[in-house]
Amino acid sequence: MHKESEIRDPLILGNKTYHDISRDISRPVEGKANKYWWILFSLSAALMLWGFACMAYTIGTGIGAWGLNKTVNWAWDITNFVWWIGIGHAGTLISAVLLLFRQKWRMSINRSAEAMTIFGVAQAALFPLIHMGRPWLAYYVFPIPNQFGSLWVNFNSPLLWDVFAISTYFSVSVVFWYIGLIPDFAMIRDRMSSKVAPMKKQLYSLLSFGWSGKAKHWQRFEEVSLVLAGLATPLVFSVHSIVSMDFATSVIPGWHTTIFPPYFVLGALFSGFAMVETLLIIMRKVVSLESYITIKHIEYMNVIILLTGSLVGTAYITELFMSWYSGVEFEQYAFLNRATGPYWWAYAIMMTCNVLTPQLYWIGAIRKSFVWTFVLSIFVNIGMWFERFVIIVTSLHRDYLPSAWTMFSPSFIDIGIFLGTIGFFFTLFLLYSRTFPVIAQAELKTILKSSGSEYKNKK
């Protein structure tokens, strides 16, 4: 009796050969950009410049250029900060945690997801800087030996923990990403002709650190990747936990909540995967990577979104329950006001986009559709932005003493800066997609034949 084991679905479509992969991955770097790229790039660059102008205006005149006031001292600035930091998390999860769990499907997307992490964290890092009243003194937040006597930073402050958490996260992510890039840079270097593009070739030679593909190199590469993955994994959980402590350690009702660390981490993964989807669905079209980023990848990520989205929803309901159960009238009012007060619409957007719409992924057809996924990923991005807005603004605008209660409304500078960071992010990402190997091809080649379907088809 002939029993044929079930053939796994291939992770790479289109019967690619090793050479095909090299060619496909190097194409965006070697060739000219297409029309879509130029359109997107111009748009993003314009937005970025507008954002920079708004930042310059803020630094030139004062934080008063924003819509903040004596009661609501943080709004879009910290909302954007937390949002961007959260987005970064998926990248680290994909490249580090999924590596440790040996999830091979990550290989097509980890490079871009990690690029997204780095670019996202860069956007996030802008906000703590520009939200300062005196950003030119930002170095005060670093524990630098100084001539001010024994003046030291305040290690009790969650903002200081943020400084360490973000800088650690950023540096580990960059190193991890770069290590992975070395063999791929080497591949590009090797393909380049020193006659056609001598400068480029020299550049990629520099970037590839003299990689020659020796067995020893590969061995070290694997070991370092594993070690860095081990280092990066706790960061996935620590960074957003620490960010959440900005709120959790305070005395403000709606902020002072012990559920925040896990709740923020889940929210971060949730929003991060949504952003990965948004980006990859665009990228696979713009740089023609349809064979590598397949509906299979999208479906896996949708499952994670469904899971994290449901967990985030549970956290929202837990918060409501706890506020009622606490018996503290300030807590009760804070959450009642969140849901039914003047910012009820923000709460409704948050609930809809984060809790309700991801439930559509229970339906297979939606889970396996690029169009639906794209639309829903945008919903999640919006929803998660509003989650942070709701937490920050609705808690602050009505806290303890009703005499201080007021509202917040963004100025056009607030909006400009946020759009500017989106432009900046996409500008970086688009530049990356034209100069970097956007898929970890060296790794990818290891799974080219893992499904066996090719062998079967040949027969």
Partner 1 sequence: MTKEKKYWKGLSELNNDPIVEKLAQNEFSEEIPVNEFLGDSDLGSGSTSRRDFLKFLGFSTAAATLASCETPIQKVIPYVVKPEEVIPGVANYYATTIYDGHDFASVLVKTREGRPIKIDPNKTALNARIQSSVLSLYDSGRLRNPMKAGVDSDWETVDADIISKLNEIKDKGGNIALLTSTIISPTTEKLITDFSAKYGNVKHIQMDAVSYSGMLDANASTFGVRALPTYYFDKAEVIVSFGADFLGNWGSSDYAADYAFGRNPKNEKMSKHYQVESTLTLTGSNADDRIQIKPSEQAGLLSDLYNALNGGTADSRISKMVSALKSANSSIVVCNSNDSEVQTLVNAINNTLGNYENTLTLSSPSYLKKGNDTDVATLVSDMNAGNIDALITYNVNPSYTLVNADEFNTGLTKVGLKVSTSLYMDETAINMDYVCPDNHNLESWGDAKSSHGFYTLMQPTINPLFKGRQFQDSLLTWSGNPKKYYDYIKDHYMNDEDDKEQPGLDLISNEADWNKKLHDGFFTIDDTEDQFADQMKKERKEVSPPKEHPFKSSSSDYIEFEVSEKISMGNGSQSNNPWLQELPDPLSRACWDNYLTMSATTARALGIKNWNVSNGALNGSMVNITVDGKTLENVPVMIQPGQANGSVSMAVGYGRKNAGKCGDGVGINAYPLLNGGVANITIIEGIHHEFAATQLHHTMMGRDMIVKEASLTDYIKDNKAGNHTELYHTHDGPKKASEVSLWDEFDHTTGHFWNLSIDLTSCIGCAACVISCHAENNVAVVGKEEVRKSRDMHWLRIDRYFSSEMTEERSAEEKISAIDMYAKMEDPSEKPDVVFQPVMCQHCNHAPCETVCPVAATTHGTEGQNHMAYNRCVGTRYCANNCPYKVRRFNWFQYSDNDKFDYNMNDDYGKMVLNPDVVVRSRGVIEKCSMCIQKIQEIKLEAKKDGTKVKDEKAQTACSSACPTNALVFGDVNDETSEIQKMKKDDRAYQLLEHLNVAPSVFYQTKIRNKA
Q: Is residue 9 a contact point for partner 1 (CB under 8 A)?
A: no
Residue 418 near residue 382, CB atoms below 8 Å = no
Name the minimum Å distance from CB 124 to partner 1: 15
Residue 159 or 317: the one with the smaller Cβ distance to partner 1 is: 159
Selected binder of partner 1 within 1, 2, 102, 133 (CB under 8 A): 133
User: Pick from 45, 153, 179, 224: which binds partner 1 (CB under 8 A)?
Assistant: 153
Q: Cα separation of 360 and 313, whole Å?
A: 14
Question: Identity (one letter) of the amino acid at 376?
Answer: L
**Nearest distance from C-beta of residue 57 to partner 1, angstroms:** 12
- Based on the shown chain and the rule CB under 8 A, indicate whether residue 38 belongs to the binding site for partner 1: no
Dihedral, CA of residue 51, residue 56, residue 61 and residue 62, to nearest 10: 70
Give the nearer residue to partner 1 in terms of CB position, either 153 or 375: 153
Sign of torsion over alpha carbons 198, 21, 231, 77: positive
The residue assigned the tokens 């999860």 is 93
- Torsion on CA atoms 305, 311, 317, 323, rounded to nearest 10: -130
Q: Which of residues 251-290 bind partner 1 (CB under 8 A)?
A: 251-252
Piece of the chain touching partner 1 by CB under 8 A; list 190-198, 233-241, 336-344, 380-388: 336-344
Binding partner 1 (rule: CB under 8 A), the pick from 30, 33, 50, 69 is 69
Q: Which of 84, 165, 77 is nearest to 127 (CA)?
A: 77
Per-residue CA distances from 42 to 38, 47, 49, 255 (Å) = 6, 9, 11, 40
Place of tokens 């280092």: 231
Indicate the burial class of 215 (C-beta count within 10 angstroms; 0-12, 13-18, 19 or more): exposed
Residue 246 interacts with partner 1 (CB under 8 A): yes or no: yes
Q: Which of 55, 93, 163, 301 is in the footprint of partner 1 by CB under 8 A?
A: 163
Among 340, 359, 446, 450, binds partner 1 (CB under 8 A): 340
| Chosen residue from 45, 307, 322, 407 binding partner 1 by CB under 8 A | 407
Ranges within 90-129 binding partner 1 (CB under 8 A): 128
Cα 80-388-233 angle, rounded to 5 deg = 80
- Token output for 459: 């027969």
Q: Using an 8 Å Cβ cutoff, are 302 and 365 in contact? A: no
By CB under 8 A, is residue 249 in contact with partner 1? yes
Q: Can you read off the two tokens belonging to residue 265?
A: 């981490």
Q: Give the binding range for partner 1 (CB under 8 A) out of 33-41, 276-284, 335-343, 380-388.
A: 335-343
Give the range of 4-12, 37-45, 195-203, 330-338 binding partner 1 by CB under 8 A: 330-338
Q: Name the residues that contact partner 1, by CB under 8 A.
A: 61-64, 67-71, 73-74, 128, 131-135, 137-138, 140-141, 151-154, 156-160, 163, 246, 249-252, 329-330, 332-333, 336-337, 340, 396-409
